[in-house]
């Protein structure tokens, strides 16, 4: 299976989001009493960065999907107009 840029973006965003959720759960349960001072700040900063990366990947993916949709719509309209033109030209001309 070929990994396209769309697949890569979605997997990257999903992995970042899963890691951020895992960090959130661990930080609020198991590590709550163990993290103090600078380590606490670094830990939550890392969680924030992963969340921001996931959100950025989602925004980029949404923009690309919109761009692809627009291009497909444009191509469909052009193909339909070309087909109408071909049908018009293939009809026998009436003598009026």
- Spatial separation of the C-alpha atoms in residues 36 and 68, rounded to whole Å: 47
Contact 61, 9 (CB under 8 A): yes
pLDDT of the residue at 61: 94
pLDDT of the residue at 23: 96
Tens digits of residue pLDDT in 3-33: 788 899 999 999 999 999 999 999 999 999 9
pLDDT of the residue at 45: 97
The answer, yes or no, to whether residue 1 has pLDDT greater than 60, is: no
Average pLDDT (40-60) is 96
pLDDT of the residue at 30: 93
pLDDT of the residue at 90: 87
């Amino acid at each position: 299976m070929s990994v396209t840029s769309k697949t890569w973006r979605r997997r990257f965003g999903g992995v970042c989001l899963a890691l951020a959720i895992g960090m959130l759960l661990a930080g609020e349960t198991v590590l709550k009493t163990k993290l103090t001072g600078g380590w606490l700040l670094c830990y939550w900063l890392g969680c924030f960065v992963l969340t921001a990366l996931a959100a950025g990947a989602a925004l980029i993916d949404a923009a690309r999907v919109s761009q692809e949709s627009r291009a497909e719509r444009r191509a469909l309209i052009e193909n339909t107009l070309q087909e109408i033109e071909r049908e018009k030209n293939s009809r026998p001309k009436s003598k009026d």
